[in-house]
């Protein structure tokens, strides 16, 4: 038999999974911005949940919530884009934040670096706009990820440091939002252009249109990411504080430690 405390934690995780999945379904059908050059596509309010889900649910339950929530939202009329793979940006971001909060720092660094390299190396990408690197905000987020701040942020949440928990949410939300944007940008190029070219079909977005599209995106994506970060901080901070202060659920390192130290029943 498993330890009762561990069963209780798992039960609470499943309960939160159900509640947060329902929230994801609702917000997945509420657009906040049109996808530039995206043939009718939108960005949805569910995008700001990635940092919150990564912290509370972790990489596995959080990722599962995104997958279930995405396909459930389709049943309620969610617009399907990127050949049905439009859930990948949220999924990768949630998993990344979940691992980062649970001290799995190196895999997130490698993944972020790889995504940056793939996007910059793609011939459809625009390297600079008016001599400013297109990915300037991504570089800022990556520098934060490499810095001690990305590891200290988890400790501030676990210790319920009210003065610093907002900064923790900003750090995790920034890293998650920019990874999310990288995955979405890569999908935007591959799925709407290069995939169709590879199978001998005309692309949904013409190759010649990308310089103009990325120029427009250059001015809008920092504002969109700022909106997501602010939303995550305003919504996520009180939720996480309530969960941690009331000891409803062990999160982060405490959750890992509890699992590792759970006594095994004698045979």
What would the pLDDT profile of 3-26 be if each residue is shown by its tens digit? 555 667 788 888 999 999 999 999
258 pLDDT above the threshold of 50: no
- For residue 44, the cross-strand partners are 31
Instruction: Decide if 109 contacts 68 (C-beta within 8 A).
Output: no
- Residue entry with tokens 């990635």: 50
Structure tokens belonging to residue 126: 């625009």
For residues 103 and 131, give the distance between their C-alpha atoms in angstroms, rounded to a whole number: 37
Give, in order, the Cα–Cα distances in Å from 21 to each of 69, 72, 247, 266.
5, 9, 22, 37
pLDDT digits (tens, 9 = 90+) for 176-225: 999 999 999 999 999 889 989 999 999 989 999 999 999 999 999 999 99
Q: How confident is the model at residue 263 (pLDDT cuts 50, 70, 90)?
A: very low
In 3D space, the residue among 177, 188, 231 whose CA is nearest the CA of residue 35 turns out to be 188
For residues 110 and 131, give the distance between their C-alpha atoms in angstroms, rounded to a whole number: 27
User: Mean pLDDT across the stretch 45-73?
Assistant: 94
For residues 226 and 181, give the distance between their C-alpha atoms in angstroms, rounded to a whole number: 12
Using DSSP's 3-state secondary structure scheme, residue 132 falls into strand
Strands 128-129 and 132-133: antiparallel
What's the pLDDT at 40? 63
This prediction has a pTM of 0.89
Q: What angle do CA 219, 116, 225 make, to 5 degrees?
A: 35
Query: Average pLDDT of the chain?
Result: 88
Instruction: Decide if 112 contacts 96 (C-beta within 8 A).
Output: yes
Structure tokens belonging to residue 105: 């720092």
Residues 6+ apart with CB under 8 A from 45: 27, 28, 30, 31, 32, 231
What's the pLDDT at 252? 61
Alpha carbon of residue 204 to chain centroid? 26
Instruction: Decide if 55 contacts 100 (C-beta within 8 A).
Output: no
- Residue entry with tokens 């960005």: 43
DSSP H or E segment with residue 229: helix 210-245
Residue 199 phi/psi, 5° resolution?
-100, 10
CA atoms within 13 A on the CB side of 217: 25
In 3D space, the residue among 63, 93, 60, 66 whose CA is nearest the CA of residue 78 turns out to be 66
DSSP H or E segment with residue 260: helix 253-261
Task: Compare 221 and 261 and report the one with higher pLDDT.
Answer: 221
Q: How confident is the model at residue 41 (pLDDT cuts 50, 70, 90)?
A: confident
């Amino acid at each position: 038999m498993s330890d009762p405390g561990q069963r209780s934690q798992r039960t609470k995780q499943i309960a939160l999974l159900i509640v947060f999945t329902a929230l994801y379904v609702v917000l997945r059908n509420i657009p906040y911005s049109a996808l530039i050059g995206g043939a009718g596509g939108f960005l949805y309010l569910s995008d700001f949940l990635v940092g919150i889900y990564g912290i509370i649910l972790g990489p596995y339950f959080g990722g599962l919530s995104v997958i279930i929530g995405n396909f459930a939202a389709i049943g309620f009329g969610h617009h399907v884009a990127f050949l049905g793979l439009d859930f990948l940006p949220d999924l990768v971001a949630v998993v990344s934040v979940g691992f980062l909060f649970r001290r799995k720092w190196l895999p997130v660094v490698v993944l972020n670096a790889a995504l940056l390299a793939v996007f910059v190396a793609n011939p459809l990408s625009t390297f600079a706009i008016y001599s400013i690197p297109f990915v300037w905000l991504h570089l800022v987020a990556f520098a934060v990820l490499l810095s001690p701040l990305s590891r200290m942020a988890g400790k501030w949440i676990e210790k319920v440091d009210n003065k610093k928990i907002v900064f923790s949410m900003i750090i995790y939300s920034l890293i998650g939002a920019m990874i999310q944007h990288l995955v979405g940008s890569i999908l935007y190029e591959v799925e709407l252009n290069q995939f169709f070219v590879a199978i001998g079909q005309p692309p949904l977005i013409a190759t010649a249109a990308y310089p103009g599209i990325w120029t427009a995106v250059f001015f809008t994506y920092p504002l969109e990411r700022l909106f997501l970060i602010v939303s995550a901080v305003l919504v996520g901070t009180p939720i996480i504080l309530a969960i941690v202060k009331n000891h409803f659920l062990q999160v982060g390192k405490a959750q890992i430690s509890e699992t590792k130290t759970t006594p095994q029943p004698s045979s």
